[in-house]
Amino acid sequence: MDLADFHVAELAGVGPATVDKLARLGIETWQDVLFHLPFRYEDRTRITPISQLQPGVAAQVLVQVEHSGIRFGKRRTLICRASDASGAIDLRFFYFSKAQQNRLQKGTWLLCFGEVALVAGIASIVHPETQIVNDPSRPPLSDRLSPVYPVTEGVKQPLLRKLTEQVLARLQSDTLPELLPAAIRKDYQLEPLASALQFVHRPPAGIGLTTLLDPEHPARQRLALEELLAFQLAMQRLRRQFVREDAPRIAPAQQLPAQLAAQLPFQLTAAQQRVIADIARDLDAPHPMLRLVQGDVGSGKTLVAAMAALQVIEQGYQVALMAPTEILAEQHWNNFSDWFSELGLECAFLVSKLKAAERREMLHAIESGAAAMVIGTHALFQESVNFAKLALIIVDEQHRFGVHQRLALKEKGGQEGRVPHQLIMTATPIPRTLTMTAYADLATSIIDELPPGRKPIQTLVLPDSRREQVIARVEHACRRDNGQAYWVCTLIDESEELQAQAAQATAEQLTLAMPNLSVALVHGRMKPADKQAVMELFSRGKIDVLVATTVIEVGVDVPNANLMVIENSERLGLAQLHQLRGRVGRGGRDSHCVLLYQSPLSKTGQQRLEIMRATTDGFKIAEKDLEIRGPGEVLGTRQTGLMQFKVADIMRDSVLLPKVQQVATALLEQQPQNAEQLIERWLSGREEYAQV
């Protein structure tokens, strides 16, 4: 008997409608029930006197009903006033039946559980779980902490607890196979899987929350290691599937990259040369490259991509570069056109704003093969786009694209049973722990060196009350030092609730405050052509101060801009702040970034701004961002389920990752069936998110 072989429909209390609802939680088999783990616990082992209740904390009270009735206001509410010897409490129900109302008779004793709130100074619980108590001297208390599971509409805690109880009753060591190698279990002194699951679903009596949530507890260690292993297996399996496909073998270039290097006014850094060599080796293989190139803002990733493109073009193939925004795509097109025109190569540009005639011209150049380099946005993977001989896809800021977009572009390169190589670039430094998990299907190169002459950006953190001084500093920098400045706002329109200075209002204010300077505005709601026109004027030095929303976060390169002011900086994440700050300091001049904040600062806000002030190292900032926000938010995948681990924590459990990588490789080679079962056990259909 294997729990994975039994369907949930065979459990008591599960009908056809419930089967569908459970499937939304990824629960289809008895094994799935066990691996739908609690994310927290409730203490129903004791009663808390009303006088000791704390707002925002869930608690259990034993109370006697004084009176109840329906109050009509904005919404119809059943309010029951109840009390114990220490005070009174209101039980509030927005959804209720006549039967529920009749149960709340004066004098009835109730055992209630729920989160406490203060409403008009009175302790209240909204929609408490209630149970009538016949003998208040002997209330039916639990003897252990109660698990709380992730739920969905129509599937509540009582049902999940009943299902778990049924499966746990059948849980034996032979009903749930041990899939971890015996040597691993011995090395880490791991307890049996069945014991670990029994512990987290039904904690022993007397075990407190501290012990139960202790990451060092043997049960949690066992489950965390196996979950990390399952995720690692899924990622490595994806890579193996990809590299089993055929790709055009691109021999090392003999001419074009050297010609481009010779026309540059600077030398490539050692880091750039190292990464270019990594890519060249990958391209000279019969299976597709899948490589991630990380580099901090300004490290020269675009030039590395150009060198890779030239290796491919020299062999008679095409290259496509996909960027997430039209502004970034246009900047890439300008750069590549400048570089490649000197080499006699044509670049095509494809974005949605093109006029019909321009679009037809570009499509013909792409399909005929006249355009060796094709640059654009998501417009590249529309059905009307046909490549003559696509062999390399370069994806900039890949986390902004969904898996379907990347796959659609990959399919366009499929010729003679071969797929194009893929090069992924990001200016968002990814912490090593995330690289070992979320990007385990990618080979990774890091450009860890900035071009010579770059000076570190000085960062100041100031309250908004010093705004006038900051404006004076901006005027001085632009008029006397002949510099240019960005003034970044987080919103376009006024919003009292968010207390953010709107970009529109700020542009007007700065225009009045600095009448001798040219002030312009750019934001995401502008038409692409208008936005681009403003950016071009700024690039040419015709605009002194550019007021912008975070639309300038990625890709804008104006070497003369050496000052940035970021409004309401406490509202932005570390990665976004770092990206924005990287827009200055791109020339050889001293550069500054001023982070303005609204008081009072939250603890997290203080933490973020102090990190930004203390370092310009993108990888250190990324590690701190991961600590503060968690992997789901850092990767932008909270809504997909990716990296939302049930037990594991990649920061806390990072010490396990090197071993997990080794074990995953060995399992896939030696026990592929066990690897498949582990993936199914823990991910249960979520592994496709790993490709996003």
Identify whether 684 is part of a domain.
no
Stretch among 2-6, 386-390, 437-441 having the lowest mean pLDDT: 437-441
Tell me: cis bond preceding 49? Omega within 30 of 0 counts.
no
Tokens of 54: 């704390």
Report the first-to-last Cα separation within the chain, whole angstroms.
Answer: 36
578 in Cβ contact with 488 (< 8 Å):
no
pLDDT of residue 244: 81
89 and 114 fall within a common domain: yes
402 and 271 fall within a common domain: yes
Tokens of 411: 């399919």
Tokens of 3: 């729990």
Could you list the residue range(s) of the whole structural domain that residue 177 is in? Answer: 3-41+150-214
Give me the torsion for CA of 207, 213, 216, 217, rounded to 10°. Answer: 40
- Of the candidates 644, 665, 685, the one whose C-alpha atom is nearest the C-alpha of residue 227 is 644
Higher pLDDT, 565 or 533: 565
CATH at residue 132 = 2.40.50.140
- What mean pLDDT do residues 13-25 have? 94
Domain-ending residue, one of 113, 141, 169: 141
Whether the pLDDT of residue 674 is over 80: the answer is yes
Rounded mean pLDDT of the chain?
86
Stretch among 230-244, 327-341, 393-407, 661-675 having the lowest mean pLDDT: 393-407
Identify whether 423 is part of a domain.
yes
Condensed to tens digits (0 to 9), the pLDDT of residues 353-370 reads 888 999 999 999 999 999
- Of the candidates 273, 279, 219, the one whose C-alpha atom is nearest the C-alpha of residue 250 is 279
627 in Cβ contact with 595 (< 8 Å):
no
Identify whether 361 is part of a domain.
yes
Condensed to tens digits (0 to 9), the pLDDT of residues 38-57 reads 988 999 999 999 999 999 99
81 and 160 fall within a common domain: no
- What mean pLDDT do residues 102-106 have? 93
60 and 136 fall within a common domain: yes
495 and 611 fall within a common domain: yes
278 and 418 fall within a common domain: yes
- What mean pLDDT do residues 594-623 have? 88
297 and 350 fall within a common domain: yes
Tokens of 408: 């659609």
Whether the pLDDT of residue 407 is over 90: the answer is no
411 and 543 fall within a common domain: no
Identify whether 245 is part of a domain.
no
Compute φ and ψ for 465, nearest 5 degrees. -65, -15
Q: How far is CA 100 from each of CA 108, 111, 139, 342, 391, rounded to the nearest angstrom?
A: 13, 15, 20, 81, 67
Higher pLDDT, 10 or 604: 10
Q: How many domains does the chain have?
A: 4
583 in Cβ contact with 354 (< 8 Å):
no
17 in Cβ contact with 153 (< 8 Å):
no
Q: Which helix (H) or strand (E) holds 146?
A: strand 146-148
Helix, strand or coil, per DSSP, at residue 313? helix
Give me the torsion for CA of 550, 378, 688, 626, rounded to 10°. Answer: -20
- Of the candidates 456, 488, 459, the one whose C-alpha atom is nearest the C-alpha of residue 610 is 459
Condensed to tens digits (0 to 9), the pLDDT of residues 277-287 reads 999 999 999 89
Tell me 133's DSSP state.
-
264 and 373 fall within a common domain: yes
* Residue corresponding to tokens 């008591």: 12
123 and 263 fall within a common domain: no
Per-residue H/E/C for 406-435: HHHHHHHCCECCECCEEEEEECCCCCHHHH
- Of the candidates 429, 501, 430, 436, the one whose C-alpha atom is nearest the C-alpha of residue 471 is 501
CATH at residue 387 = 3.40.50.300
The sheet with strand 318-322 has its strands ordered as: 347-350, 373-376, 318-322, 390-396, 421-426, 290-295, 443-447
Domain-ending residue, one of 84, 107, 141: 141
427 and 299 fall within a common domain: yes
> How far is residue 406's CA from residue 238's CA, in Å, rounded to a whole number?
14
Domain-ending residue, one of 588, 615, 642: 615
Residue 283 burial (C-beta neighbours within 10 Å; 0-12, 13-18, 19+): buried
pLDDT of residue 415: 66
Whether the pLDDT of residue 197 is over 90: the answer is yes
CB atoms within 10 A of CB 499: 11
pLDDT of residue 629: 65
Identify whether 223 is part of a domain.
no
pLDDT of residue 414: 62
Identify whether 653 is part of a domain.
no
State what percent of residues in the chain have pLDDT above 70.
Answer: 90
- Of the candidates 386, 383, 381, 351, the one whose C-alpha atom is nearest the C-alpha of residue 366 is 386
Identify whether 629 is part of a domain.
no
Tell me the pLDDT band of 290, cut-offs 50, 70 and 90.
confident
pTM of the model: 0.68
Condensed to tens digits (0 to 9), the pLDDT of residues 199-220 reads 999 999 888 888 888 888 899 9
Identify whether 467 is part of a domain.
yes
37 and 52 fall within a common domain: no
- Of the candidates 455, 508, 188, the one whose C-alpha atom is nearest the C-alpha of residue 298 is 455
